[in-house]
Amino acid sequence: MTVELFDLRPLLAVLISLACAGAVFAVRENPRWRAIWSLSAAGVKFALVWSMLPGALDGKIHAFGFGEVLPGVAFGFRVDALGLFFALVSSTLWVITTVYALAYMRNSHSLSRFFGYFALCISTTVGIAFAENLFTLFVFYELLTVCTYPLIMHNEDMAARRAGRKYLLYTLSGGALIMAGMVMVYTEAGTLSLAEGGILDASAGHASLLTIFVLLIAGFGVKAALMPLHGWLPAAMVAPTPVSALLHAVAVVKAGVFGILRVIYEVFGADLLRDLGYADWLAMLAGTVIIIASINALRQTHIKARLAWSTISQLSYIVLAACLLVPLGALASIIHIANQAFSKITMFFVAGVIERATGKTRVDELAGVGRQLPWTMTAFTVASMSFIGVPLTAGFVTKWYLSLGALQAGSEVFVGVMVISGLLNAAYWLPMIYQAFFRPLPANRPDAVSVSPMMVGPVLICAAYVILLGAGASAPAMPFSVAEAAARFAIQLGVWPQ
């Protein structure tokens, strides 16, 4: 039985990063205090979010509201299992990414601005995760756009400026679509609550329901990099590597897929979407994106560009799994939020270490790098095996549950999509591993520069998590059991048997 509790912790989890940002801006270019405030806030947020996990797994809902901004619409927070899971992943990775960024960004310019907006991004991400209704979610979703823009523009060169403008054009347009859809939802349902398990019904009429679905999915699909709304993401790779990691694993793209999950399960509801058939169309689009983005990744010669196209493909796994509207699909979608985050952030961290240690940024420059950076490239190999779907890794668990979900839904074609995607992943990750470990080091290649343990440590921790999540997804007794949290989420959505 679900029990709702009044709790200050959701509010504090959002405010701690806001306070950190203010402190970082206040200390300006003092590196010692900047590091102290950044790490302290990351640790406190981590503890606050994790403290709510036992209650969420027991069916308790932690809530905090500010009163009504519209009739029936409060500005407030409600921590259900889905929101808490998203916040757990984000807060955990914020700690790790902050440590990495302090080392990677050393000697860069405008570091107070960088770490201040970095903190604001995670604050808005947790606000999205804990939003009680579409209005609160929309406010934090748009704030995330504003806070991310200075990070993409950090290098302040022409490429960064173009990427920043493109990002704003795409994401603000997506926000306008969400606002239009939100207004229609409120007009039809008289509420924007995400606690109903489906606030729309068939009485709204097919034309209105289809318009709302298209507006909301397209709006959230921009940040989720759902093709053809993905153009900003490869362009944004001109940003520093910690920002790329933030975009791909911690905040922005996850906010997009999180919004899509909220639309599917809590604005429409599984039963209504099953009757309407809209999820079938979205599933076909997501399956197509998985294949096309993987083919594009295969063609990329810059490491971060290949990672960007891989992200576009992997995000569609989450959308596809949710659109199956069956218990195992729901399980796969929530599990892959964590799987993709830890595997992809490992790869971006590795790309940053390679850049700092060797100056290399291209796939065809990796020959012998495995001999120079054996631990780093081993971590990259673990993450690659996960995306390919090798057993005992996190990615295998996603592909397994998603394939079973496809069979459960009678959509066998998506099992084929998983097989093809795995082969394409092997086609663009394995040559990189082969070059790094088995190609000879060029005679004119200088020795690798020593890299701070604050960069290498996060790489190894995240790679270890890929293995831990792979084991934990099928072993409920393990700490941070992904299976238990995912099953609780599915129960709360009403698509998993009690």
Residue 155 lies in a domain: no
What is the predicted pLDDT for the residue at 476?
A: 46
258 within some domain: no
DSSP 264: I
The verdict on residue 356 lying in a domain is yes
- Whole-number pLDDT of residue 201: 83
Q: Pick the closest to residue 384 from 328, 448, 319, 314 (CA basis).
A: 314
E strands within 364-459? Answer: none
Give the pLDDT means over successive 10-residue stretches in the chain (498 positions): 76 88 84 87 90 79 81 84 86 90 84 86 89 91 90 86 90 93 90 82 86 94 88 83 79 88 89 88 93 93 90 92 88 86 91 89 88 92 91 84 89 91 93 91 78 89 86 51 58 56
Show Cβ contacts of residue 240 under 8 Å, excluding neighbours closer than 6 positions: 104, 105, 108, 114, 151, 154, 155
Task: Note whether residue 321 is domain-resident.
Answer: yes
Cα dihedral 288, 227, 389, 87 sign? negative
Report the C-alpha gap between 292 and 315 in whole angstroms: 13
* Residue from 267, 111, 260, 110 nearest 185 by CA: 267
Range of the domain at 397: 277-498
Determine the pLDDT at residue 491. 61
pLDDT of residue 494: 55
Whether residue 375 lies inside any domain: the answer is yes
At residue 78, φ and ψ (nearest 5 deg) are -145, 115
Supply the pLDDT for residue 480: 46
Quick check: is 381 in a domain? yes
Model pLDDT, residue 473: 54
Q: Considering the domain boundaries, does residue 344 fall inside one?
A: yes
Q: Furthest-apart CA pair in the chain: how many Å?
A: 72
**Is residue 127 in a domain?**
no
Q: How many domains does the structure of the chain reveal?
A: 1
Per-residue pLDDT tens over the stretch 21-77:
888 888 877 888 888 888 888 899 989 998 888 877 777 888 888 777 778 788 889
SS3 11: helix
The backbone torsions φ and ψ at residue 225, rounded to the nearest 5 degrees and listed phi first, read: 55, 40
